Structure 1
Amino acid sequence: MERRTISVTGMSCNGCEQNVESALQNIEGVTRVEADRGGDTVEIVTEDDVADDDIEAAIENAGYDVAT
């Protein structure tokens, strides 16, 4: 298992948090997701083989930006 904290911009409400969480939960190997719009972060727990590119793509396809 791997725990990651990702900076995400553009979340402004509970619905935004839910959108990001739903997008990430659809990735195979993701076991836990918690978005925090106040901290502009998403904490994600994954199997070791989930690619960063897949995570970033899911967030961006949901309409939010990954801060680097």
Structure 2
Amino acid sequence: MNENRYRVAGMTCGHCVASVTEEVAEVPGVDAVEVDLPDGTVLVRGQDLDDNRIRLAIAEAGYTVTEPVAV
């Protein structure tokens, strides 16, 4: 299983967490999404993760990936 972590700007509440989780979970290969609201990060676990599609899903939820974070 692979893991990608992203720092995401603009998440401030439970609705933000739900929106990001829902969009990223729909990306093929994603098995789990964990949003750490206080830290402003999103951890994605799965097989053959597509970084570009994950970033697009986060953007679709209305947020911006500011930088990748080493896992």
Q: How high is the TM-score relative to the length of structure 1?
A: 0.92
Cα distance between partner residues in 2 of 1:50 and 1:4: 8
One-letter amino acid matched to 1:2: N
Aligned alpha-carbon RMSD (Å): 0.8
| Aligned counterpart, 1:30 | 30
Structure number having the greater strand percentage? 2
SS of the equivalent of 2:28 reads coil
Alignment size in residue pairs: 67
Residue 43 (1) aligns with residue 47 (2):
no
Paired residues of 2:4 and 2:44 also in contact (CA < 8 A): yes
Identity of aligned residues (%): 34
Moved segments of 4+, more than 2 Å = none
Cα distance between partner residues in 2 of 1:24 and 1:61: 9
Paired residues of 2:2 and 2:49 also in contact (CA < 8 A): no
